[in-house]
Structures are given as structure tokens and as C-alpha cells.
A and B are shown apart, each in its own frame.
Chain A
């Protein structure tokens, strides 16, 4: 059951000079859900988020949070981790965290306590007095994430949050995001890590050529793109057929996408009937990774934001 729309985008268009980055984009993000914002590089994801947050002025359309154009109201409970990362590099970790905590409405004491607790959790407790530019890139990312989630944001917008993290810290970050979700935050996440989307997101939107290519729950999108993938380990050649498309063919291994109106049993009969030796035949939902490759596989990186 979806909650009230917290974010509503209707008829959004964004031009930079003669370049149209977003043509006509509409979608909602509901309170309490985790929403995946997907698209290839340059498809307009960051532009949309910046327009939603009032950093860019839209060419047309409306972008609302709680029914209003976002203004950087003092003390608003928004957490935004931008794609372009950065903090005051010449200052100490704790000073910067307390500064942002104060700007987000915390008292100095609360901001200090919160910051120390967070730094302890992300194994940076001994770096509290260290200047930010003395930290590694990954450590700076952790500090920035801490600044983002201070004061329990009701809306958390994360633009490629795992960028620059090693697998261990990526797991830690995912845990932190899940904690925020459990605490009731609505999360909008831009990422190219499809396993993160499958793990965390309730609904997704795929952006292509400045418009929504697909929009709905993860299952809806998987169904839209065939829903099922058949994984086959075989001996001998795998013949082409009108019943399926071979999406991946390696030595004695293939992934097959059933064509419309065809089910797994039809394909199994076809393969056996044509004398293919089968060592295994399994079905799975089409992964978002496969869908992503299918949707954007033919694209060169377009220009634009």
C-alpha cells in the first residue's frame, strides 16, 4: 500500500540552451518508500534532482515536495548527498559535521554527540579532529554521508551513494540507508549498482532520452521486459528459434529470453526436440542489470547533464 506522494513531478522539461535534457517527465515518490532513479550517464537524473531541490529552474513543469516548490527553508529535514561531493576541506571532521548539524536544527551539544556516535559507527572516531583533506576519498565519503543523514531526514536523496566505496564500506553504507528507511525516511536513490536497487528499492523509474522508459515496482519493470530469463547449461550448439531470443551465449552456457506468448515449457520442449543436450535448465526473473543493458546497451554516452 503506497503512502501519500511526498514528491510529485509533472510535465518536467529542462533545456540547457538548445539542448533538451529532459523532455517530459512525470512521476511520484510516496512517503516511506525507497525509490530507484535509474538511467545511463547523461540521461538527466542529476538534473532532475537539482531541479527538484531548486538548484536548477525547470524550463517547464512542476516539481514539488509536500505539494510545494522546495525552498532551502532553514531547518528543513532534507538529506541530500549530491553527485559532486565536497565539504570544507580545510576544516576538521567534527567542526564540519557540527556546523551542518547546527544548520539542520540541532543544538551544538546534540550535533557533537550525534557526530561522535556516527564517526564511531563508520570507524572514523579517531579522525574527529583531522582535517577533511587529510582523509582518504572513501573516508570523506563517509563523513559526507553522515552530514547527509543528520537530524533524521524525512526525505533522503542520494545521488550515486556508493560511488568510491570498496565492497565492505558499500555494505556498511547500505546498512545505514536501510536504517534510515526503517526509521521512516523516504529515500530517492540514483545508482548504477543494480543489485542495490533490487535489494533496497520498492519502485524504480528508468530514464531514457529525457523521458521515462519504465516506471513502477521492480517486479513491474521486470515483467515489462520479459519478466523471465532461462539459464541453460548445454552440450552442442544452441539453435535459434522463433520462441526465444538468446541474450547471452557463452561456451556451453546461455541465457534465453522467451518471446511473448511463449512459456518455459514450450522452450524446454523445443530444445529437447531439437536434440540439445541439457545439463541444467533454470528460470529466473530478468535482473535489472539485464534490463539496464537491454535498454541502454545501444547508447553511446549522450552529452548533457
Chain B
């Protein structure tokens, strides 16, 4: 029967949320915005690359003088150029409108500016002159090197495989940092998406005066666990909805959107940090869930809950203000305080875990702390809901709920 009622609560809470238009408007707003941004990037990239290509390959009617000796007449001709006999005359021709452009290459183009005299074609059109002048010079330099290999090296087209060692073992580097960092991302997304709903989940029973009907029908623990599970399911739906356009964009339009080509096979899943990451995520989630539900049981309205909500949210973001210290000096006093203070602990510990600076002992202490305090918070939430939510329009005195219970 308890399982039946748990399923009933989960189903009711989940479906009444996802059936609402408001939910889908709010949820789809982000992927729609992402899709619009992607579309704009796509269109922009298309036009930019086309314009750049056009500029690069533009055949201008230009003349040039070259004091560096790099540009050959044959090369210039491929871009529509010819050598000018007299620079002053070329400038006069440009001014008269009989010549598009005149490029004056200095003796040392690496340190001295190339001067361009050209007919004005607007802010964007004028870029063509720069592109052609630069391209002519680059092609001339490559021609001088006369080696595709050396040309590639000068352009920085180099692949590097680095091995670094920690405690005598090859360390994973950034490839080992990313996987445990994903737990931090999941923690942030889930708390940001769910915090308000957790806070208001029991407030709804109070505001609708439905508490007495519920308390005489259902075990409050079943109700609260059911609500938390349904919220997780709702968050999962939201995360999938958010992720869908990103996945589609990555799989089918990666090059058009200039998305980096991630090679996931390079990521290193180290068992220790991954297990610690999962436990920190779970412990942190339980602690925040229990705390938010307990706050909801204490305060009479969503508005009043805001006073408690803001500090909690600050506490999960504040470790990022000292992220450089967390990475560079994990034993600094402030980092230690943030590591063990319950509401900043999940984020700080997950960061340190990702960067490999959270020792086994520290991990054990923080995980134990989060789970113990999380379960205490959940028990407190159930207690406050059971004995406190009947105070429909008043802020609850927590001590009074325990005093009443002790009398029994």
C-alpha cells in the first residue's frame, strides 16, 4: 500500500506539472532561444565565410609597388594586380576613380605597414583591400619558403601529445578533470531547475488548505519522498529538452556552428574521483532538497520563503569567487572553510575532487557530513510538515513542534 501511494503521489505530482502549458512555455523557452542563437550563428557563419572567401579571392584592379622584393609580378597577376611604375601616379589614378586600389609594400612588411590607397566601398567592402593585400603577401612568403611542411609549421598546425606525471603515475590532465566536473554541472542544473519547486512543493498544501486532508490520508514521508522523486523526473524532462537542440546541433551542424570537435575517447574516467563525484552530488542534492522542503514547511507563503532561499543560492555560487584559490591553494583557510561548511561543501568539494586536490580523508568527511545532514534535513522537513504545516497562515515556531511532540 505504501508503494502504491508513493507511485500515486509521484504520478499525480509529475503529470500535473508536465501537463501545464506554463511548464512547457518555460521549458521550451531555453531550447527555442538556443535554436534561434544557433540559427543566427549558422546564418552569420555562412555569410561571413562567404564574404571572407569572396574577399580572399577577389580580383581587383590594382597596382602595387614592392620595396621588399617578395611579391613577384606573376603572383600579383593571379590576384588581378600589376606593378605600378609610379606610386604617385597610382594614387592619382585611385583618386580619379580609374583604378580600384594601389598597394605600397614597404621594405620590411613584418615591421612596417603596408599602405593601401583605394576607392571607398563602404566599411565592409573596404575589407576586401586588406584581405587581398594580405593574401598576396602571404602567398609570396609561402612561395619563398617553397615547402608545404615548413609552411604548415609556420602556421602553427602542430599536433602535440603531452604526458605529465603525478606521484610517479601518468596524470590524466584536463581529460581527467572533465568527467568528475560533470557532476558539478548536474548539481547546478538540478538545483537551479528544482529549487523553487522544492520550496513551493509543501507550500502548496498549506496555501490550498489541503494539509489536513493529506495528513489524514497519507503518511507525510510518503508525500515528501513522492514529491522529491517527481521533481527529479520533471528536472530530467527539462534537461533532456534543453539538451536536445545542443545534441542535434552538435551531430548535424557542428561545422556550420563552429562547435569544437570533442573527442570523447580522450576523456579519462578515474574510478576514485568518479565515485566521490557521484556521492558528493547525491549528498549535496539530499541536503539542499531536505533544507528547501523544510523551509517550505515553516513559512506560510512563497514570498516569505524568498528570505531563506536567496542565502542558500548564494552559498552554492560563492565558491566560484575563489575558484582560482581552490585550484591553486586547496589548503588555504577559506577553501577549507568552504569545503566543510555544509551548504558550500558540495560545490567546493566537487571542484577540488575534479582537480584532484581532495584527499580520501577529506572526501569521506564531506560525504558523511552531507549525507548525515541531508537525512536530518529531510526528517526535519517531514516533521515540520506533519506538525507545522497546519499553521496555515503563520510562520511556524520550530521549537513549538518539538515541544508538542514531547508532551505526547
- Which residues of chain A have a CB within 8 Å of any CB of chain B? 15, 17, 50, 53-60, 70-76, 78, 80, 82, 84-91, 95, 99-100, 102-105, 144, 147-148
Contacts and interface: CB of A to CB of B under 8 A. Distances in A.
A147 B213 contact: yes
Contacts of A84: 209, 212, 392
B266 interface: no
Interface residues of chain A: helix, strand, loop or mixed (majority): loop
Contacts of A73: 1, 219
Interface residues of chain B: helix, strand, loop or mixed (majority): helix
Contact of A88 (B204, B217, B219): B204
A50 B219 CA distance: 15
Given A54-B216, A74-B5, A102-B5, 19 more contacts: A54-B215, A55-B216, A55-B386, A56-B390, A57-B405, A58-B407, A59-B407, A71-B219, A72-B220, A73-B1, A74-B2, A74-B219, A75-B1, A75-B4, A80-B212, A80-B213, A84-B209, A84-B212, A87-B208
Interface of B: 1-2, 4-5, 8-9, 12, 16, 204, 208-210, 212-213, 215-220, 222, 386-387, 390, 392, 400, 404-405, 407-408
Contacts of B209: 82, 84-86
Contacts of A78: 216-217
Nearest to B2: A74
Nearest to A75: B1
B1, B213, B400, B408: which has the most chain A beta carbons within 10 Å? B213
Contact of A55 (B2, B210, B215, B219): B215
A74 B209 CA distance: 21
A60 B217 contact: no
A53 B214 CA distance: 12
Contacts of B16: 88, 90-91, 95
Nearest to B216: A80
Nearest to B401: A57
B12 A99 contact: yes
Given A87-B213, A88-B210, A105 B1 contact: yes
Given A74-B218, A105-B1, A55 B408 contact: no
A298 B149 CA distance: 108
A106 to B, nearest CB: 10
Contacts of A53: 212, 215-216
A100 B404 CA distance: 29
A201 to B, nearest CB: 22
A71 B216 CA distance: 8
Contact of B218 (A70, A86, A91, A103): A103
A144 B217 CA distance: 14
A56 B401 CA distance: 9
A74 B4 contact: yes
A76 B213 CA distance: 13
Contacts of A59: 404, 407
A45 to B, nearest CB: 14
A56 to B, nearest CB: 7
5 contacts: A17-B400, A53-B212, A53-B216, A59-B404, A84-B212
Contacts of B210: 86-88
Contacts of A55: 212, 215-216, 386-387, 390
Contact of A104 (B9, B217, B387): B217
Pairs of residues from A and B, 7 with the lowest C-beta to C-beta distance, nearest first: A86-B209, A82-B212, A74-B1, A57-B408, A57-B404, A102-B8, A80-B216
Nearest to B390: A55
Nearest to A15: B407
Contacts of B204: 88
Contacts of A56: 387, 390, 404
Contacts of A85: 209
A84 B405 CA distance: 22
A103 B215 contact: no
A57 B208 contact: no
Nearest to A60: B407
A57 B219 CA distance: 16
A99 B8 contact: yes
A91 B12 CA distance: 10
A6 to B, nearest CB: 15
Contacts of A58: 407-408
A218 B293 CA distance: 47
Contacts of B212: 50, 53, 55, 80, 82, 84
B43 to A, nearest CB: 41
B407 A57 contact: yes
A58 B204 CA distance: 27
A208 to B, nearest CB: 24
Nearest to B209: A86
A57 B407 CA distance: 7
B215 A72 contact: yes
A114 to B, nearest CB: 15
A279 B219 CA distance: 64
Contacts of A148: 213
Contacts of B222: 74
A86 B208 contact: yes
A82 B213 contact: yes
Nearest to B5: A74
Contacts of A102: 4-5, 8, 12
A100 B390 CA distance: 19
A107 B309 CA distance: 39
A50 B212 CA distance: 8
A69 to B, nearest CB: 8
